[in-house]
Chain A
Amino acid sequence: SQQGEEDPQALSIQEGENATMNCSYKTSINNLQWYRQNSGRGLVHLILIRSNEREKHSGRLRVTLDTSKKSSSLLITASRAADTASYFCATPEGGFKTIFGAGTRLFVKA
C-alpha cells in the first residue's frame, strides 16, 4: 500500500495563482520529501522537511508538516507555466527505502 497519498489527483490553475497540494501518510516518519516530475522525465528532488519542523521555504515553495495529522502540504506561490508537472510526496520506510504516493498532476495555464 502507498505510504504517501496526494490530494488532489489533478489541479488546473491560471498562471500567477497559488497551487496547494496535500499529502497524507500512515506511519511515523523522520522526514518527508517532495519531488517534481516533468512529463516523460525522472523525478527531481524539491524539498525535504524534518519531522521536528513545521514549515519550510525554498523560493516559491512552502512546505508544511503536521505530524499529529500525518499530513503535509506543498504550496507553490505565483505559479508559472513551467511549474506544470506531477508532484509527489515521499516518505522513508525501513530506514532507507523511499515510498512514493500517486502524485498530483498540476497544470498551469498561461
Chain B
Amino acid sequence: NAGVTQTPKFQVLKTGQSMTLQCAQDMNHNSMYWYRQDPGMGLRLIYYSASEGTTDKGEVPNGYNVSRLNKREFSLRLESAAPSQTSVYFCASTGSKGGEVEAFFGQGTRLTVV
C-alpha cells in the first residue's frame, strides 16, 4: 500500500526557476490537496481538487498552479520560484472511512529557494 507518494523529497531552486512537484495516490480518492508548512505554523492550503477535472484555490494560491492530470495524480507547479516559497510541501488525499472523511498525507517535499 503506497498511499500518497510525492516527488521529489528535496529540491533547491534559484529565484526565478520553475519546477513541478508530483503527487500520486493509489486509494481511488476523489479529492486531493496541496499544503505548505512553514516553521511554527500549521498547514496552509494552496490548492485543492475536489474531483478529477476540477481545481480550486485554497488559502495561499499566489505563485502556484496545479493540474489534476487524472484521478491518481495532482501536480503543483511553481512558474517562477521566490524565496518566500521556501517551505515544506505536502500533498494529501481524502477518502471516507466508516462514513467520515480522513486525510492521507505524503511524506513532504522540502523546497529551498535561494
User: B-contacting residues of A (Cβ < 8 Å)?
Assistant: 2, 4, 9, 30-31, 33, 35, 40-45, 48, 50, 88, 90, 92, 96-103
B64 at interface, CB cutoff 8 A:
no
Decide: A42 and B101 in contact? CB cutoff 8 A.
no
Q: Please report whether the interface of chain B is mostly helix, strand, loop or mixed according to DSSP.
A: strand
Q: Which residue of B lies closest to A31 (CB)?
A: B100
Decide: A100 and B108 in contact? CB cutoff 8 A.
no
Distance, CA A47 to CA B42, complexed state (A):
18
In the complex, which of the residues B4, B33, B48, B100 contacts A50, with contact meaning CB atoms closer than 8 Å?
A: B100
Decide: A90 and B103 in contact? CB cutoff 8 A.
yes
Decide: A42 and B41 in contact? CB cutoff 8 A.
no
Q: Which residue of A lies closest to B88 (CB)?
A: A40
A9 — which chain B residues lie within 8 A by C-beta? 40
Q: Which residue of B lies closest to A88 (CB)?
A: B42
Decide: A96 and B106 in contact? CB cutoff 8 A.
no
B90 at interface, CB cutoff 8 A:
yes
* Complex A-B: 15 CB contacts under 8 Å: A33-B102, A40-B110, A41-B107, A42-B105, A42-B108, A43-B90, A50-B100, A88-B43, A96-B31, A97-B58, A98-B33, A98-B94, A98-B101, A99-B45, A102-B40
Decide: A100 and B48 in contact? CB cutoff 8 A.
no
Q: Please report whether the interface of chain A is mostly helix, strand, loop or mixed according to DSSP.
A: strand
Decide: A42 and B107 in contact? CB cutoff 8 A.
yes
In the complex, which of the residues A4, A45, A50, A90 contacts B104, with contact meaning CB atoms closer than 8 Å?
A: A45
Decide: B100 and A43 in contact? CB cutoff 8 A.
no
B102 — which chain A residues lie within 8 A by C-beta? 33, 45, 48
Given contacts A2-B42, A96-B94, A100-B43, contact A42 B103 (CB under 8 A): no
B50 at interface, CB cutoff 8 A:
yes
Q: Which residue of B lies closest to A41 (CB)?
A: B107
Q: Which residue of B lies closest to A1 (CB)?
A: B59
Closest-CB distance, A78 to chain B (whole angstroms): 26
